[in-house]
Structure 1
Amino acid sequence: MDRQALTDERAAEFVRDAAAAPSLHNAQPWRFRHFRGSRTFELRADPGRALPHADPQRRALHLGCGAALLNLRVALARGGWHPAVRLLPDPADHGLLATVRPAGPGTADGALAALYPAVHRRHSSRYPFDDTRLPERIRTALGDAAGSEGAVLAFPSSWHLEEVLELLEEAEARNLTDRGSGQDLADWTRPDDSSPVGAAPDGVPGYAFGPRKRGGKAPMRDFAGDRPVAGRAAAEFERSPQLAVLSTAHDRPEDWLRAGQAMERVLLLATLEGLSTSFASQALEWSDLRWPLRDPVSGTGHAQIVLRLGYGPEVPATPRRPVPDILDIRP
């Protein structure tokens, strides 16, 4: 697409693309401002959509907003613009996470633009994947995608994979009996939403819960908790789940934003490669379980997210808030 004037309508289209990003419990903790005069976008945190129990430091909020920022960059690049980004530009304004000024013309990043077809195709799948091993070519490409955003993507194997799976299993067991985790599920899951038609605009709807795990080692979060969901089946999941741990050298808000961008870049590329993806973030919600996820060889790095990758069925999208609810256009 050739670069065109940045009208209000195009700004809204770009924000719609940005908001297709994933977030913890699909809380969508972002808001955007667009200033017509400077053609600048602001990405702002929406603190009312934080999860105080699972995410007291708002690390996951920053990851989700970072993912939305990457989508915005991809959409602008596809439109022929170069997105000039500043992270945390105002120390006095903690809600302002980033500014993005479309520059150009003719300076768009082709590698970013090429990811655009995956922006609205990427969905979190909580269904079983098969045990087909990811080709080494794809693993390398996903690692390079994370590296281009300043993060490291590692595929644990052997004893390290077993350790990661044990940490995730321990976290899920804790969450099932933890009052705060139960409140998060009550606030941000919609078990009665059985189809996309008429579903609430946020949270995880019942049709996206996936089946209950009857067997297998895949580290699945049960969004139903202890609530019955009518018609929900059970299924065998993969015996050899393929996980990837994304980490950063430091653990500051700017690192969380970079990790969110790296996460989304990996997910978009995985989608283009025909992979299904989901998250295994339970252990990251417990500080004593998050620390052992770091690189077992160097003992360094801060795990930011655990991804589950594989070949699985296509799944429907989860809902998103209307653009007018998240975009404020100013002179």
Structure 2
Amino acid sequence: MAGQLSAGDVDVLVSAAVAAPSMHNTQPWRFEVDGRVVDVYLDGSRTLPAEDPTGRAMRIAAGAATFNLRCAAETLGYGAWFGLAPYPDDEPDLLARIVLEPTAARDDELLDLARYIPYRHTDREPSDAVPIAENVRVALMRAAHTEGAELTWLGDADLRIVYDLIVDTDLREVHEWRRRAEREHWVGGERPVDGVPSAALGPRSTGYPSAVRDLGTKPADRLRAERRFEQHPDLAVLSTEFDEPADHVTAGAALERVLLTATRAGVSASFLNQPLEYDDLRRKVQRRTGRPGHAHMIIRFGHDRPHGTTARRPVADFLKSAGPVSGGG
């Protein structure tokens, strides 16, 4: 049918989109396809009201999914025009509208990054002591800037402050049972379709605080093997100038471009975002960048090792009913 995406194309697009990272792998997206228009919605049934009460992390995840969808569109010969949070008052759960049109003008960078979507993963293993090469650091900064965000590398003095903020976060959580209960709902065990399985938690750190966030909540997960993590991790803060819903989506797109660029360079990533879950600590993180703006992610980069990705739900689970989708290839 003219003007319609085929079922095969929809499968390619949504499969790529949902490979994006999300907090605790909640996969908080729904997609509505109408002709060649793809709308990206938040899935309100997959919120984290204790750890993400404002929905900022969900919007970042939606931005990352949107970026993957744009990359996948290039592999199908489509150009993508998009708007972020187009109707914040009337449709707050609609976070991106993407219009796809056949085009001969290819975005070679998106086309190349699409190849790395299946290989991106969160790496919670210790890294070696070799710093990230300067040309890779610059490439990651450029990737963030291309999507309208800023990636700032932290020095050793900043690292000590971030570690202090992690301790502060952990002390606050001692009395916040809702946060612990929420994490236990999504983390640990087999997790065949969503959440973070025990197998993806990585080892426990022999030191504290550490370069890795220990998400383990279940008794068995607290008995994982211990490893020594790097003393001087390569950390960077991803931030945007403003802090509106559209900026959160922007941050997510920038995050995914950074992560795919890193994957292509043989660099993996994990996150130390726990201080960002408290507004006052989040402001302190941003101050370490020496720039105005709003911090969205604290990213630890290391040298990649082969690793499995966490599971995703079937594509059909993410699709809202809308206009017809053609069955042809």
- Contact persistence 1:245–1:305 (CA under 8 A): yes
Counterpart amino acid of residue 242 in structure 1 = D
Who is 1:175 aligned against?
173
The answer to whether the 8 Å contact 2:282/2:295 transfers is yes
Using the TM superposition, give the Cα deviation of residue 272 of structure 1 relative to its aligned residue in structure 2, in angstroms: 0.4
| 2:72 aligns with one of 54, 58, 75 | 75
Please tell me whether residue 201 in structure 1 is matched to residue 228 in structure 2.
no
Give a deviation string over 1:58-97, Cα, whole Å, max 9, x none: 0000000100000001111222211110112223011111
Alignment of 1:143-154 (within 5 A): 143-154=141-152
Asked if 1:43 corresponds to 2:37, the answer is no
* SS of residue paired to 2:296: strand
Q: Which residue of 2 aligns with 1:159?
A: 157
Per-residue Cα deviation, 1:248-304 (whole angstroms, up to 9, x for no partner): 110010000000000000000000000111111101111121110114474511001
* Counterpart in the other structure of 2:205: 213
Question: C-alpha displacement at 1:160, in angstroms?
Answer: 1.9
Q: 1:232 aligns with which of 224, 228, 244?
A: 224
Matches within 5 A, 1:161-310: 161-175=159-173, 178-189=176-187, 191-193=188-190, 199-215=191-207, 218-225=210-217, 227-229=219-221, 232-296=224-288, 298=290, 300-310=292-302
Query: Are the counterparts in 1 of residues 149 and 251 from structure 2 also a CA contact under 8 Å?
Result: yes
1:183–1:147 distance in 2 versus 1, CA, 3 Å: same
| Stretch deviating more after TM superposition (286-295 or 271-280) | 286-295
Shift of 1:124: 0.4
Aligned residue type for 1:113: L
User: Is there any run of 5+ residues in structure 1 with no aligned partner, and where?
Assistant: 194-198
- The one-letter amino acid paired with 2:42 is A
The residue that corresponds to 2:85 in the other structure is 88
User: Helix, strand or coil for the counterpart of 2:239?
Assistant: strand
Distance 1:297 1:121, change over 3 A: closer
CA distance in 2 between partners of 1:16 and 1:265 (Å): 17
Distance, in Å, in 2 between the alignment partners of 1:174 and 1:226 is: 20
- Determine whether 1:138 maps to 2:157: no
Q: Note closer, same or farther for the CA distance 1:210–1:84 as it changes in structure 2 (3 Å cut).
A: same
Instruction: For residues 209-268 of structure 1, give each alpha carbon's deviation from its aligned partner in whole angstroms, at most 9, with x where no partner exists.
Output: 111111376332222136223872111111111111000110010000000000000000
The percent of aligned pairs where both chains have the same amino acid is: 37
Q: Give the letter aligned to residue 246 of structure 2.
A: E
The answer for unaligned runs of 5 or more in structure 2 is: 325-329
Instruction: Report SS of the residue matched to 2:13.
Output: helix
The Cα of 1:172 is off from its aligned counterpart by 3.6
Q: 1:137 to 1:34 in 2, by over 3 A?
A: same
What SS is found at the alignment partner of 1:43?
strand
Shift of 1:118: 1.1
**Against the structure 1 CA distance between its residues 256 and 213, is the aligned structure 2 distance closer, same or farther, given a 3 Å change threshold?**
same
Detail structure 1 runs of 4+ shifted over 4 Å in the superposition.
none
Contact 1:281–1:305 (CA under 8 A) maintained in structure 2:
yes
Q: How far apart, in 2, do the equivalents of 1:69 and 1:23 lie?
A: 12
CA contact (8 A) 1:66 1:256 kept: yes
Structure 2: distance between partners of 1:233 and 1:175: 24
Q: What is aligned with 1:6?
A: 5
1:63 aligns with 2:60: yes
Alpha-carbon distance in structure 1 between the residues aligned to 2:209 and 2:307: 21
CA-to-aligned-CA distance 1:22-49 (integer Å, 9 cap, x gap): 000000110001113xx11010000111
Note the aligned Cα RMSD (angstroms). Answer: 1.9
Please report the TM-score for the alignment, with normalisation by the length of structure 1. 0.92
Query: Does 2:327 match 1:327?
Result: no
Aligned 8 A contact 1:44 1:95 in 2: yes
User: Match of 1:258, SS?
Assistant: helix
More divergent stretch after superposition (284-293 vs 265-274) = 284-293
Q: Is the 8 A contact 2:212 2:270 kept in 1?
A: no
Aligned: 1:129 with 2:130: no
